[in-house]
Amino acid sequence: MKIVVIGGTGLIGSQVVKQLQNSGNEVIAASPNSGVNTLTGEGLNEALQGASVVVDVSNSPSFDDEPVMHFFKTSNENLLPAEKRAGVQHHIALSVVGTQKLQASGYFRAKQVQEDLIKASGIPYNIVHATQFFEFAGGVLQMSIADGKVILPDANIQPIASKDVALFVAQTALAQPANKILEIGGPEKFEMTAWIKKYAEATHKNYEIIPDKKALYSGAPLDADTLAPENPVFLGKAHYADWIAVPENQR
């Protein structure tokens, strides 16, 4: 079986490709670096020829409102019709837990457009809603700095290791399409401040970390469990404290 992984050279994509190659299938890692560009359509028809499954784990290089909407809308308006022409039988996309609740955010509005295009495409699909990756802690800290302090939403989070996300996405690619959203998360739920404090301690960053009920996440307000899965079908095995204790080049 031929499987094309869009975004196949990124953090998740490269791990998905490796997982799928171990299953003995023909796997194509498709990205602009390999001559496949969903924004322009370059190389799409050639890459998809003979493909049964497409896994889309690509992401926008910019999270600003207009560029991110352009990326997800245009990419899927090119990718999904190309899949139809190629006779693809299963489309898997990686999205985010809470997307439908975070529409005050330009990024999540764009992700919702992507999901709506997939559902309307007529191609059998699974959409994987994952919680925030362990690897995102540093970025969350940086985007939350104000006046020398880290101000975080007073909300819960259930982060997951990228390797566990990749494992589930690869397993989903080898399963039958269910035409539904599949929620996944990490094994532990805790306050966002606790997660970022663990990161700060492990990386020797000395910040005062404060919860604020009015703080936004990617421009959107949060309820206590907006970022936690409601009905997870899979929980990762890696625990954050164990993961962050391992040197980055050994994970």
Nearest to 159 by CA among 145, 181, 138: 138
Nearest to 189 by CA among 235, 139, 127: 235
Local confidence pLDDT in tens for the 251 residues of the chain: 999 999 999 999 999 999 999 999 999 999 999 999 999 999 999 999 999 999 999 999 998 999 999 999 999 999 999 999 999 999 999 999 999 999 999 999 999 999 999 999 999 999 999 999 999 999 999 999 999 999 999 999 999 999 999 999 999 999 999 999 999 999 999 999 999 999 999 999 999 999 999 999 999 999 999 999 999 999 999 999 999 999 888 88
Say how many CA atoms lie within 13 Å of 175 toward its Cβ.
16
- pLDDT (0 to 100) of residue 102: 97
* DSSP secondary structure of 99-124: GGG-TTSHHHHHHHHHHHHHHHS-S-
Instruction: Give the predicted TM-score (pTM) of the model.
Output: 0.96
- pLDDT (0 to 100) of residue 248: 83
- Domain 2-250 top-level CATH class: alpha beta
